[in-house]
Structures are given as structure tokens and as C-alpha cells.
Amino acid sequence: MTDLERVRHSAAHILATAIARIWPEAQFAAGPPTDQGFYYDVDLPHRISPEDFPRIEEEMRKETKANHRFERVAISRADAIAMAERGELAALGPRGTPSPFKLDILQGIPEGEEITLYRNGDFTDLCAGPHVMRTGNVGAFRLTNVAATYYKGDERNPQLQRIYGTAFKNKTELEAHFTMLEEAKKRDHRKLGRELEIFCFDEDVGPGLPLWMPNGAVLIEELEKLAKETEFAAGYDRVRTPVIARENLYLTSGHLPYYADGMFPPMTLEEDRAVPGTTVANAEDSASARPPGDRYYLKAMNCPHHHKIFKAVPRSYRDLPVRFAEYGQCYRYEQSGELLGLMRVRSMQMNDAHIYCTEEQFASEFNAVNDLYLRYFKLFGVDKYVMRFSTHDPAKLGQKFVDDPILWKKTEDMVRRVLIESGIPYVEIPNEAAFYGPKIDVQVWSAIGREFTLATNQVDFAVPPRFGLVYRDRDNVDKTPLCIHRAPLGTHERFIGFLIEHYAGNFPLWLAPEQVRILPIGDDAPLLEYAKSIQQELRGHGVRAALDASSDHIKAKIANAETKKVHTMLVLGARDLEAGAVSVRLHGKGNVGAKPRAGFVAETLAAIKERRAN
């Protein structure tokens, strides 16, 4: 855990301590830290509401002021069960009723695994830790919300109350967090996406299936253009694959049956042809004798398809590395309760690529991928980022992870070495690797400090052998390549959602859906013709330029353009017409003065071509 996660985990225990003092009959389930704070699930006859928060927070402050030590206690399974049966876990002492959720959690702890308790003052909880040293180390906290939830997320289990809060080391950090949240509300991509006509959802289409409006399509096309240019320069070859495939493809890759819950249900197709020897007249009678139908799945990932393309032709060591790139359309069945705007969807277009290389080439290829991330970060003004390096758990080989300890160690060492030598900030997270190899999740922070998981980078040593992928080495011996899965721009959906919030809808000129809007003052015919000629010239150069030839007052035209966050406005009057000039106004910055028409056009084209940040 990070230091902040320790603070928040400890705050969850302090919350439980306070609730137990106010309502001793409360039964607690789990109380982990989260990206935004912490929560604790509680079973309590009293329905907690925000009106209760001041009372609970006051009790929490008493606990932090007492500055009790968080004491770690190792305990035998039998003693832990006995304490739970006496109601002593997540409690201030023995009670007349057992601690049912703690008993259930104990049943889920594997035999031989250490069981620990944590005590702060007179409150004792079943917990693996870690925590801060003392309750007083939780410098500032605030309760934020309460919601209903089912124990373990299963509606067959009891319904609990989930009390949310957040905590920081000090009050300054806490207040900065809530200031950021207020700004985040204004930047919410769901709100801005609707106002700026970027995307929408429709019940007849289905939840989690975004419809991209013209402005959204512009963003997609610009991002794809960027990716294609960058990848072409880096030696990638583009491929295209269908959005459905036979079940056997995913059985071979190992995604089925293990990933079945994340895929849409299969389609079963009957053979179009009748059984040989039948006629139209007796085809119906022979239906039962037809070959069984094929099962097809909507594509949830691109890698199996790319593996098939690699295998389609013989490969030599001279051909490697092979780099296949595709903005592949994928479909994943996210639970309806997990859908969130563009951040969690069921239809996605992924900036995907797979690099097939030798072990000797791995370091340079992996480093080149990381350099690609850094180049994109600089372009989009992402100043804070970290790579979450996820490794395997040796105890779960053959269960959660492919059972090959030697290759796990080798590939994890290779990734770790590249990260260290490149100087890229990273944190190592055990037990979160992909089933086929170590991975890196790219965490970035937006302009207001909000954290996003943007993309992933994975090493695959397990699936290429399943597809029989080989190349001939220098000694004419077949070898299996390593495969690097990478998606620096993530999916269009998640990345555009991030960009909307990062820029607050104020996209740089090269990316802006509407780059220039021409606003003539009045409806004088020569002035309108001048405005149209500027629009035609800009559009002739590929600039997304629009003309507001309405009868609205110029103030209303400007206000409308500002509301739609048009990057550049040209306010044209009689003086501009006479001088062959344009009066330039930038969104959010106001008037920047008059410029010669030719100079403005040249400067605009240069800014777009160079993808300048302003």
C-alpha cells in the first residue's frame, strides 16, 4: 500500500470505531481504502443518512485525538473464530451475538495463511493491514456518502449500508481534494459530452453503447491520424480484423472459459447448406441430420486475431520484430451497474498493437513502447503519471496465472530492468498481472489532479505457444516469439473521456471539433462575401471552419461560440474588409487583435500541422 492508502485504510477502522461506539449492535463486513478514499460496509437497523455524519465525524475526531496505537496481533484460526463467535471482531468487546461477516471472511482465508487482527484502543478488527502507526496520524477526514450494497456484491446476500469517506495526511490536502472534486463536476465528460454534442446514449441502442456525434467523430479521426502517423514512423504495419469469431479461437487463446463473463453471449449459427444428398423437397425432413451449428462471439480482444495473422505466413528471425497495429472494435459485457459514461462501456475502439519479438529484442521494443507513451504525454500536457507494474503471485500459479515460474521470473525481471534503466516512475503491484504475463497499467493525472487509468502494456509468453506461433532462428530451429500487447492511447471511449475532462472541453486547435468560427458584424453583403471567402479558403486547407451568418447581434454570436468552446473566432467588421484582415478572438482568452488574413491562415495551418498545445 502507498502511504495515502495506509491513511485511508486506517480511517476506515476509525470510522468503524466511531459507529460501534454510537451503535454497539452494528455488524461490519469489509472496510478497504479506495482511489478516492475509503468505505466500510455495515449491517445496522438504524438507516444512516448524511444527517448522521457530523455525529459520526465527532466520534472519529475523539479517536484520532486519543492517538491510539494500531497494534498488529497474529492469531490462530481457532482463536480468531472463537472471537468472532463471541462477537469481538469489529467490535469494542464481547457481545451477545457473533460477528457473522467476519466469520464468513475467516472461512475464505486459505489454510496456512497468517491471520492477523488490528487493535486501536478498545476496538479490534480482523485485518491483514497495513495501517499508520497511530490514529492521530490520520490528519484530516470527511464522510461523503452512504449507499446500499449487497454483501460481496451478491444480491442473494444481506443488504448492507456502505459508508464512504476520504482522508488525507492534513487539512490542506483534504480541502484541495474537495476543490478538485468541485472542478471535476464542471469538467465531467458526461455533462460536457452532451453540451458539446460529442457523444450520446440511447435506450433503443442499448446501455454502454455510445453513439458518436459529428464532433465526437472529429476527435476520433484526429486521434487515429495521430496514431497512424506515429506508428508508421515506428515501423508498425496496420491490419484489420472482423468483430466476430468462432468460439474455438477464444478457447485456443484461453479467454474462454475464464473470460466468458466479460464477453457477450455466443451466437449459434446453423449451416446454410443442407446435408449432401437431400433435395429442397426433403430438406426439412433432414434438418435433424444437419451438422451442428457454429458458436460465434463478438470480439472482446484483438490479440487472438493478430496471432492468426502472424501465423498466416512463415517467419524468420530476420522478419522480427513484427508490429501489427489496429484500431480494433471490441465488445465487452460490463455489468450494467459498472457502466459509467465513456469510462466503462460495452463497445470500444482500442489503439491496439502486438509486437512479436525475440528475447534479445524485448528490451529495446518495450523501451520504445514506453517512449511512445512519454511522447503522447508531452503532446497532451500530461505532467504527472506512473506505471503500475503488476506481477504474479507464485502461490497462485496454475490457478490465476499460467503455471511457468521460470518464464514469470524472466519476463518480470526484463520488464523491471527496462523500467529502472529508463527512469520512468513506477510502482510494483503483486498479484495483479494478466493470466499470461506481467503487465503495466498507465495511471495519469488530469490538469486538475484527477487520476485516470488510461492504457495498458502487457508481456505475453503464454498465449503464442497455444497458437503455435514460431519463427526460424539463425540455426534453422523453430522458436516461439514473445508478444508485447500495447495500447498507448487506450480506447477512444476512455481516452476521449479523459481528454474532455483534462481540457474541460477546451481542446487545442489541432484537435478542436470546430477550429474556427467566422462572425461577421451585421449582414452587409460585401462583408458576408468576405466571410464566406475566408471560410472557403480555410476549408480548402482542411481547416474545420464554420460561418455564423445569422441575424443575431455580434455579442450573441460571440456568446454562442464561447458556449460551444470554439477555439478561434474571427470577428469581421468593415475595417477588416477594407484592410483584408481578420480580428482574432480565442476562446477563454478574449480578443488578441487584428491580423492580416494571409498571416492568420498561415499561422493557423502551422499550429494544426505541428499539433501545438495552445
Domain end among 454, 476, 503: 503
Q: Does 170 share its domain with 252?
A: no
Domain end among 480, 503, 526: 503
* Euclidean distance between CA atoms 584 and 595, whole angstroms: 7
Query: Residue 185 falls within a domain, yes or no?
Result: no
* Euclidean distance between CA atoms 487 and 18, whole angstroms: 45
Q: Does 470 share its domain with 537?
A: no
Nearest to 301 by CA among 272, 362, 260, 359: 260
Q: Does 457 share its domain with 578?
A: no
Structural contact between residues 165 and 176, judged by C-beta atoms closer than 8 angstroms: no
Query: Residue 540 falls within a domain, yes or no?
Result: yes
Q: Does 551 share its domain with 482?
A: no
Low-confidence ranges of the chain (pLDDT < 70): 271-293
Residue 316, Cβ density class (10 Å: 0-12 exposed, 13-18 middle, ≥19 buried) = exposed
Q: pLDDT by residue (tens digit) across 287-333?
A: 444 444 589 999 999 999 999 999 999 999 999 999 999 999 999 99
Q: Does 18 share its domain with 51?
A: yes
Q: Does 529 share its domain with 496?
A: no
Q: pLDDT by residue (tens digit) across 206-223?
A: 999 999 999 999 999 999
Residue 591: helix, strand or coil by DSSP?
strand
Q: pLDDT by residue (tens digit) across 36-95?
A: 899 999 999 999 999 999 999 999 999 999 999 999 999 999 999 999 999 999 999 998
Nearest to 196 by CA among 222, 181, 217, 179: 217
Query: Residue 38 falls within a domain, yes or no?
Result: yes
Q: Does 468 share its domain with 397?
A: yes
Q: Does 122 share its domain with 257?
A: no
Q: Does 324 share its domain with 419?
A: yes
- DSSP class of 113: S
What CATH number should be reported for the domain holding residue 42?
3.30.980.10
Q: How many domains does the chain have?
A: 3
What CATH number should be reported for the domain holding residue 570?
3.40.50.800
Query: How many CB atoms within 10 Å of residue 539?
Result: 14
pTM: 0.82
Query: Residue 552 falls within a domain, yes or no?
Result: yes
* Euclidean distance between CA atoms 327 and 32, whole angstroms: 37
Query: Residue 184 falls within a domain, yes or no?
Result: no
Instruction: Establish how many alpha carbons lie within 13 A of residue 450's alpha carbon, considering only the half-sphere containing its beta carbon.
Output: 22
User: What residue numbers bound the domain in which 154 lies?
Assistant: 3-175
Query: Residue 181 falls within a domain, yes or no?
Result: no
Domain end among 125, 157, 175: 175
pLDDT given for residue 289 in this prediction = 46
Q: Does 136 share its domain with 239?
A: no
Q: Does 269 share its domain with 354?
A: yes
Q: Does 34 share its domain with 118?
A: yes
Query: Residue 554 falls within a domain, yes or no?
Result: yes
Residues 6+ apart with CB under 8 A from 153: none
Query: Residue 286 falls within a domain, yes or no?
Result: no
Q: pLDDT by residue (tens digit) across 400-456?
A: 888 889 989 999 999 999 999 888 899 999 988 888 889 999 999 888 888 888 888
Residue 36, Cβ density class (10 Å: 0-12 exposed, 13-18 middle, ≥19 buried) = middle
Pairing assessment for the beta strands 237-238 and 322-331 based on DSSP bridges: parallel
